[in-house]
Structure 1
Amino acid sequence: MRKTILITGASTGLGEGMARAWAAQGCNLALCARRTEKLVQLQSELLASHPDIQVVVRSLDVCNYDQVFEVFRDFREELGSLDRVVVNAGMGSKTAIGHGDFASNRQAAETNFVAAIAQCEAAMEIFRAQNAGHLVLMSSVSGVRGFRGPFNVYAATKAAVAALAEGLQLDTRGTPIRVTSILPGYILTDINREVKNAPFRVDLDTGVKALVKAIDSEKRRAYVPWWPWTPLSYVLKAMPFGLFARTM
Structure 2
Amino acid sequence: MTGASRGIGQAIAARLGAEGATVMVHFGSDESGAAATVDAVRRVGGTALAVRAELGVDGDVEALFAGVEEGLAGRPLDILVNNAAAPPAGPIGVTTRAEFDRMFAVNVRAPYFIVERALPLLREGSRIITISSVATRMANPAQTSFAMTKGAIETMSMTLANQLGPRGITVNAVAPGATRTAANGAVFDVPGLTARIAGLTALDRLGSPDDVADVVAFLASDAARWVTGQVIDASGGLHLGPRV
> What TM-score comes out, normalization by structure 1 length?
0.77
1:209/1:58 CA distance change after superposition, 3 Å:
same
Query: Aligned with 2:98: secondary structure?
Result: helix
| Residue in structure 2 matching 1:202, options 207, 220, 227 | 207
1:181 Cα offset (Å): 1.9
2:61 counterpart of 1:31: no
Structure 1 Cα separation of the partners of residues 150 and 186 of structure 2:
19
Distance 1:45 1:183 in 2: 24
1:68 corresponds to which of 61, 85, 88: 61
Asked if the contact 2:132–2:176 (Cα under 8 Å) also holds between the matched residues in 1, the reply is: yes
What RMSD over aligned residues (CA atoms) do the two structures have, in Å? 2.7
Partner residue of 1:224?
Answer: 233
Give aligned-pair identity as a percent: 18
Does residue 40 of structure 1 match 2:45?
A: no
Q: Which runs of 5+ in 1 are unaligned?
A: 1-6, 236-248
Specify the code of the residue in structure 1 equivalent to 2:88.
S
1:124 CA drift (Å): 2.0
1:186 aligned partner, one-letter code: A
Cα offsets for 1:94-140 (capped at 9, x unmatched):
3211236332232222211111212221222322xx44521111122
User: Does 1:126 find its partner at 2:131?
Assistant: no
Amino acid at match of 2:61: V
Q: Given that residues 177 and 236 in structure 2 are in contact (C-alpha distance below 8 angstroms), is that contact kept between their aligned partners in structure 1?
A: no
Aligned counterparts of 2:95 and 2:80: Cα–Cα separation in 1: 36
**What's the TM-score, normalizing by structure 2?**
0.78
Q: Any runs of at least 4 consecutive aligned residues in structure 1 with deviations exceeding 6 A, and if so which?
A: none
Matched, 1:108 2:103: yes
Mapped contact 1:65–1:115 kept (Cα < 8 A): no
Q: 1 CA distance for matches of 2:57 and 2:214?
A: 31
Give SS of 2:80's match: strand
* 1:62 and 1:119 in contact (8 A); partners too: no
Distance 2:115 2:34 in 1: 22
Distance across 1 between alignment mates of 2:169 and 2:27: 25
Deviation at 1:49, TM superposition (A): 4.6
- Give the structure, 1 or 2, with the largest relative contact order (CA under 8 Å, sep 6 or more): 2
Instruction: Quote the Cα distance in structure 2 between the aligned partners of 1:113 and 1:59.
Output: 19
Distance (whole Å) between structure 1 residues aligned to residue 104 and residue 60 of structure 2:
19
Are 1:9 and 1:15, in contact at CA under 8 Å, matched by a contact in 2?
yes
SS in 1 for 2:50: strand
The number of residue pairs the alignment matches comes to 221
Match of 1:180 in 2: 172
Is residue 166 of structure 1 aligned with residue 175 of structure 2?
Answer: no
Residue 121 of structure 2: SS of its match in structure 1?
Answer: helix
Q: Is the 8 A contact 2:178 2:235 kept in 1?
A: no
Report the secondary structure of 1:96's partner residue.
coil
Q: Which residue does 1:155 correspond to in 2?
A: 147
Write the distance in 1 (CA, Å) between the matches of 2:125 and 2:218.
Answer: 20
